[in-house]
Amino acid sequence: MIIKLFLTDVDGCLTDTGMYYSANGEEMKRFCVYDGMGMVLLRQAGIPCGILTSEQSLIVNARAEKLKLDFLYLGVGSKVNPKCLTKLEAAQEICVKLGIGLENVCYVGDDVNDIDLLSAVGYPCCPPNARPEVKAIKGIKVLKTPGGQGAIREIADEILKVQSKK
């Protein structure tokens, strides 16, 4: 299988699921530099990368800009706002732009709002700290590395290794 697009959720995949707040109430997130480098390496290999998250977060926007990601969809798959795109609809929109099918997409997700997309892509993955419902998806690859600690880098390295042989 050839991966032509890499997408990931944020909380639980790029972060450790913790929600951190300063004394002033400012929200903070912890990102792993290994994960960032994994997406940089994928992009250098010609694989577009993006984030799909239900949050409307300036922090995530800043991280996506720093990594120069190709796609950023904030507020998708939100149970709070049912009028927004689902994560599956967002991924389909990206696939149309790129002229590819979902079978060429790797998506990393960890919670119930990721299930539809994980069930539709060609290469679904989740960190070991994912919800049991996610780990039960047929054909999903459960990574060894926890979210926020290099899980994205683990799968990025695997994709690059496999595709370099083709």
Please report, for the domain that includes residue 136, its CATH number.
3.40.50.1000
Predicted pLDDT of residue 79: 67
The domain tally of the chain equals 1
Q: Write out the chain in H/E/C secondary structure.
A: CCCCEEEECCCCCCCCCCCEECCCCCEECCCCHHHHHHHHHHHHCCCCEEEEECCCCHHHHHHHHHHCCCEEEECCCCCCCCCCCCHHHHHHHHHHHHCCCHHHEEEECCCHHHHHHHHHCCEEEECCCCCHHHHCCCCCEECCCCCCCCHHHHHHHHHHHHHHCC
Predicted pLDDT of residue 57: 87
Residue 161 neighbours by CB under 8 Å, 6+ apart: none
Residues 72, 53: Cα–Cα separation, whole Å: 8
Statement: the pTM of the whole predicted model exceeds 0.85: yes
Q: Are 130 and 110 in contact (CB under 8 A)?
A: yes
Predicted pLDDT of residue 165: 78
Mean pLDDT per 10-residue run, the chain (166 residues)? 95 92 90 97 97 92 96 85 86 98 98 96 98 97 97 98 85
Predicted pLDDT of residue 80: 66
Range of the domain at 87: 5-164
